[in-house]
């Protein structure tokens, strides 16, 4: 008879190299902390099966729905998501049981000949699949030709090696997890290119009534990462924007004078053609992370963010 306390947990994951690397890391940490074996279960998602741009697929949730269906069906016990891929609305019957320590959320440039963003000549072809990155790169006014691309990290970098593109912009976190840091030619300053909400963070999800899995995952949760992500995603929610909208947000924690944790949050909305943007910041107690995100979103909306997200008429 199987002891339920040591029964193998089934972890649902996409089959891309980055997803498998992230999921295996969570599996290893979970086994190390609990002694419970974890088996990876590959789940194919809409985003994996389609070659269309994410925005054309509907953006939010294209990498998530199939994993959540598997959780509801009971074919997996937990799922690991890139947090920035998750819809902002909660999923009935499911809970984010752990937000593990976060990787550096900044964007990076991988360019030919070791070039930085400022060294790329006008007309240089720079590839990215994210409307947020497209908008912010155009707003810099460097005269770059921003090219929409799809594919995994290696596929994108191969376009630079082959001379099809002069550079690509990627998340530093993915390259760090894949051991590809040597390919980076510049880590982009958030003042130039502000990261996506929840970039670099993972979300480990399970069924809300699965008390055993929830208890095991509690050991993986990092309160600092959870607070920062909560603030950033509250901006998205209040703006009623999906993960493919040209919205950026980045939160950091610092110690206040009274010894409590203070959260500093920056966010921006940029017109997809780069012609205009609004950006603001706010700070306050980390315990009020979501409230700070909502307040900052209200400031951005008051300054015209909705029109920028809607795009040209």
> What tokens were used for 176?
């760090």
Question: Starting at the edge strand that comes first in sequence, how are the strands of the sheet with 186-187 ordered?
Answer: 145-148, 125-128, 167-171, 107-111, 186-187
Round to whole Å and give the CA distance between 87 and 277.
Answer: 24
Judge whether 308 and 270 are in contact, CB under 8 Å: yes
Q: Of these residues, 3, 28, 85, 302, which one is catalytic?
A: 85
Tell me the pairing of strands 125-128 and 145-148: parallel
> What tokens were used for 23?
């999921």
Please work out, in degrees rounded to the nearest 5, the angle formed at the alpha carbon of residue 184 by the alpha carbons of 180 and 185: 160
Round to whole Å and give the CA distance between 116 and 101.
Answer: 29
Shortest CA distance to 213 belongs to which of 221, 201, 224, 225?
221
85 is an active site residue: yes
Round to whole Å and give the CA distance between 96 and 305.
Answer: 29
DSSP conformational letter for 11: E
CB atoms within 10 A of CB 121: 10
Shortest CA distance to 169 belongs to which of 106, 243, 249, 248?
106
Round to whole Å and give the CA distance between 280 and 278.
Answer: 7
- Collapsing DSSP to helix, strand or coil, 154 comes out as helix
Round to whole Å and give the CA distance between 160 and 184.
Answer: 12
**Catalytically annotated residues:** 85
């Amino acid at each position: 008879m199987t002891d339920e306390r040591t029964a193998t947990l089934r972890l649902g994951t996409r089959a891309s190299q980055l997803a498998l690397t992230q999921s295996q890391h969570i599996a290893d940490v979970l086994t190390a902390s609990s002694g419970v074996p974890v088996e990876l279960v590959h789940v194919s998602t809409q985003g994996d099966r389609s070659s269309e741009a994410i925005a054309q697929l509907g953006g939010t949730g294209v990498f998530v729905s199939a994993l959540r269906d598997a959780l509801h069906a009971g074919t997996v016990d937990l799922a690991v998501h890139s947090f920035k891929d998750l819809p902002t609305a909660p999923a009935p019957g499911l809970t984010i049981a752990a937000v593990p320590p976060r990787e550096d959320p900044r964007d990076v440039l991988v360019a030919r000949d070791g070039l930085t963003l400022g060294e790329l000549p006008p007309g240089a072809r720079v590839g990215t699949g994210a409307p947020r990155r497209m908008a912010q790169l155009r707003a810099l006014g460097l005269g770059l030709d921003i090219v929409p691309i799809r594919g995994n990290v290696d596929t994108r970098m191969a376009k630079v090696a082959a001379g099809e593109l002069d550079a690509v912009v990627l998340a530093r976190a993915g390259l760090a997890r894949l051991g590809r840091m040597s390919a980076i030619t510049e880590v982009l300053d958030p003042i130039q290119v502000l990261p996506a909400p929840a970039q670099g963070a993972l979300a480990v999800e399970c069924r809300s009534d699965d008390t055993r899995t929830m208890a095991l995952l509690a050991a993986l949760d990092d309160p600092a990462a959870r607070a920062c992500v909560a603030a950033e995603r509250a901006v998205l929610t209040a703006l009623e924007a999906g993960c493919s909208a040209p919205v950026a947000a980045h939160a950091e924690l610092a110690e206040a004078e009274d010894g409590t944790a203070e959260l500093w949050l920056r966010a921006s909305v940029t017109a997809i053609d780069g012609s205009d943007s609004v950006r603001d910041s706010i700070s306050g107690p980390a315990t009020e992370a979501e409230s700070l995100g909502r307040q900052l979103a209200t400031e951005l909306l008051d300054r015209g963010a909705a029109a920028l997200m809607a795009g040209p008429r």
